[in-house]
Amino acid sequence: MRIRILSELHDSGALEKVAEALREIYGEEVKVEFVDKLFDEKFLNSSRGQHNAWLIVQNYKHVRADDEYLLLITLEDLYAAGLNYIFGLAWQGVAIVSTHRLTQEFYGLKPDRELFIERLVKEAVHEIGHLHGLTHCPDKRCVMAFSNWIGDTDYKSYRLCSRCERKLKLLKSKT
Ligand SMILES: [Zn+2]
Ligand SMILES: [Zn+2]
């Protein structure tokens, strides 16, 4: 399998870091393509001002090739049923990550580019982990730990814990 990223974030420095981390963790080829807009307003819930991540991911199912995992990186804020917001979502070969809540500015703080890139890397590695079949991990330092808020993302590392690493090897040997 290879990983294809379609990114609304036109920041080649940040995307190179994301690609580098994905290659390191998953040992797969990573290709980045920059796009202007990933989806239109039909996915917008105007009363929430957020886009429905489930519908977007399902809509991209036909775009994905059989031998690739597709990762969408959007600037828009996302939600899923039952949650006020989500950082990302993964389903059957397609994942999406939103940069909207990854900046310090969003929380009324001073911009911090390094921190933003770290957060984006972690969220991307997390969602690609789901695409490989990994589930949420109780180890709060593991990248597969669920992020309830940005503090959880900052606390975890961008790497898999040894348990998830073993599980990934097993999952990859089956495909
Ligand atoms: Zn998750
Ligand atoms: Zn883990």
Q: Is 155 inside any structural domain? A: no
pLDDT tens for 4-13 read 999 999 999 9
Q: Is 152 inside any structural domain? A: no
Task: Determine the pLDDT at residue 174.
Answer: 84
Q: Is 159 inside any structural domain? A: no
Question: Coil, strand or helix: which one is 162?
Answer: helix
Q: Is 33 inside any structural domain? A: yes
Q: Is 157 inside any structural domain? A: no
Q: Is 139 inside any structural domain? A: no
pLDDT tens for 135-166 read 999 999 999 999 999 999 999 999 999 999 99
Work out how many domains the chain is built from and give that number. Answer: 1
Compute, in angstroms, the gap from residue 63 CA to the centroid of ligand 2. Answer: 30
Task: Provide the H-helix boundaries in the chain.
Answer: 12-26, 53-59, 113-131, 150-155, 162-174
Compute, in angstroms, the gap from residue 137 CA to the centroid of ligand 2. Answer: 5
Residue 175, pLDDT > 80, answer no
Task: Determine the pLDDT at residue 84.
Answer: 93
pLDDT tens for 84-125 read 999 999 999 999 999 999 999 999 999 999 999 999 999 999
Task: Determine the pLDDT at residue 2.
Answer: 97
Compute, in angstroms, the gap from residue 130 CA to the centroid of ligand 1. Answer: 7
Q: Is 171 inside any structural domain? A: no
Ligand nearest to the CA of 138: 2
- In contact, 77 and 98? CB cutoff 8 Å: yes
Separation between Cα atoms, residue 38 and residue 151, nearest integer Å = 28
Residue-range definition of the domain harbouring residue 124: 2-134
Ligand nearest to the CA of 168: 2
Separation between Cα atoms, residue 76 and residue 53, nearest integer Å = 10
Compute, in angstroms, the gap from residue 145 CA to the centroid of ligand 2. Answer: 7
Q: Is 143 inside any structural domain? A: no
* Neighbour-count burial of 91, counting CB atoms closer than 10 A to its CB (0-12 exposed, 13-18 middle, 19+ buried): middle
Ligand nearest to the CA of 126: 1
* Active site residue ranges: 127
pLDDT tens for 26-77 read 999 999 999 999 998 999 999 999 999 999 999 999 999 999 999 999 999 9
Task: Determine the pLDDT at residue 65.
Answer: 95
What's the CATH code of the domain at 88? 3.40.390.10
Task: Determine the pLDDT at residue 19.
Answer: 98
Q: Identify the CA nearest to 5 among candidates 75, 88, 96, 89.
A: 96
Distances from the Cα of 19 to the Cαs of 36, 46, 63, 136, in angstroms? Answer: 19, 33, 20, 22
pTM greater than the 0.85 cutoff? yes
